[in-house]
Structures are given as C-alpha cells and as structure tokens.
C-alpha cells in the first residue's frame, strides 16, 4: 500500500512538472464580469429536477441573461433611458429558448431561439421577442425581425431590487415571467399550448 502511495505521488509530481513546463508563460484569465450571466428555466430548476428524475415533461423555456447591479445608480429614466430599446439585462442580448410552442398575448410563438428586448417607460414596458440571436446589447436591433411586441404594465415595488432579476412562476395556464429591477416589476403571462 505504501509503495502504491509513493508511486502515485511521484507520478502526480511528474505530471504537474510536465504541465507547468508546457503551459503558456503569460496565460491570462478573464476577470469576473460586473454583470454575471445567469440562466433560468421553466419549470424552475429543470436540469436538477431532471437529473433527480423528478420531472417527466420536457422543459418549456430557458432564458440566458446578464444581471447588472444597481450600485447606487438611478436605473430607469437614467441608466436605462425611457422609450429606447434595452437588451433586458447587460452585455449580450438576453436569449430566450422555447422548447415547445407557447402563446403570449394571444399570439403563438413557435419553439426556437430568440432574443428578448424591452422598451421601458414609467407606466409600462413593451416586451419584444426578436429573431436575431447572438448579438451584443441592442446595437443591431432590427424591428423587422420582431416576432412579438406586447405592452405590459409596470408594478411599483416598495423594496428595491439591487440586481436585475428574471424568474418564472407557474400558473394554471402556464407561467408568468417576472422581470424586476430597482422599484419596477413587469409580468409577462405565458400560456402553454
């Protein structure tokens, strides 16, 4: 047993020495992003529940988005200008992947990958589902590629939300996607066909 342990230590040391010798000398690692990327599923915690065999149905939707922080700034009407298209997060435009057809505002949205944008205003947001994917911010936003535009009211919340947050909540007909930041919350009802 002792010989096996000594052999393991020798082999591990040789491997580490070989790895360090052949590693690039000036390898630089990216720093932590100020607005980390996050992912949500509907149903909630789908990958974990699937692994634990607690789900028999396929996932309905997934959103990948970056989560900017308030950091003592005024968000809506200042950092995020009213009346202008916003990427609904930070960095890359927010990605929506739909795994089965859904209905939003009476309109059928086919399964596929999309980008989510919003046009915030003090009393309502226009939520946009767009065909253009894999883009940064809203710089290349093209209204001709919109699949859906729907206006939803802003709910004022008393306790400020520091980090932009999106989450799904189940409903009897499907789910509601909540988007919350600062003192604003917008709800997008989604029906499952």
Burial class (CB in 10 A: 0-12, 13-18, 19+), 153: exposed
Q: Which two tokens stand for residue 32?
A: 């932590």
Task: Pick from 26-30, 32-36, 73-77 the range whose average pLDDT is largest.
Answer: 73-77
Mean pLDDT on 127-156: 95
pLDDT at 6: 59
- pLDDT of 17 over the 70 cut: no
Average pLDDT, stretch 12-32? 62
Other Cβ atoms less than 10 A from the Cβ of 93: the count is: 29
Predicted confidence (pLDDT) at residue 96 exceeds the cutoff of 90: yes
Mean pLDDT of 115-138: 95
- Cβ partners under 8 Å of residue 90, min gap 6: 34, 35, 66, 67, 68, 164
The residue assigned the tokens 């994917």 is 133
Nearest-Å Rg of the Cα atoms of the chain is: 22
């Amino acid at each position: 047993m002792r010989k096996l342990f000594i052999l393991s230590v020798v082999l591990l040391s040789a491997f580490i020495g070989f790895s360090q010798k052949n590693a690039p000398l000036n390898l630089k690692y990216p720093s932590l992003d100020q607005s980390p990327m996050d992912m949500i599923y509907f149903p909630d915690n789908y990958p974990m529940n699937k692994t634990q065999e607690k789900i028999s149905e396929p996932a309905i939707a997934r959103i990948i988005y970056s989560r900017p922080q308030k950091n003592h700034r005024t968000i809506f009407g200042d950092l995020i200008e009213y009346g202008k298209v916003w990427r609904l997060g930070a960095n890359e435009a927010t990605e929506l992947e739909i795994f089965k057809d859904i209905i939003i505002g009476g309109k059928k949205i086919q399964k596929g990958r999309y980008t989510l944008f919003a046009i915030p205003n003090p009393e309502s947001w226009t939520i946009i589902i767009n065909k253009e994917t894999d883009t940064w911010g809203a710089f290349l936003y093209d209204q001709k590629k919109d699949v859906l535009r729907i206006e939803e009211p802003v709910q004022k919340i008393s306790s400020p939300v520091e980090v932009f947050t999106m989450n799904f909540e189940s409903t009897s007909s499907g789910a509601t996607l909540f988007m919350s930041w600062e003192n604003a919350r917008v709800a997008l009802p989604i029906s499952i066909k």
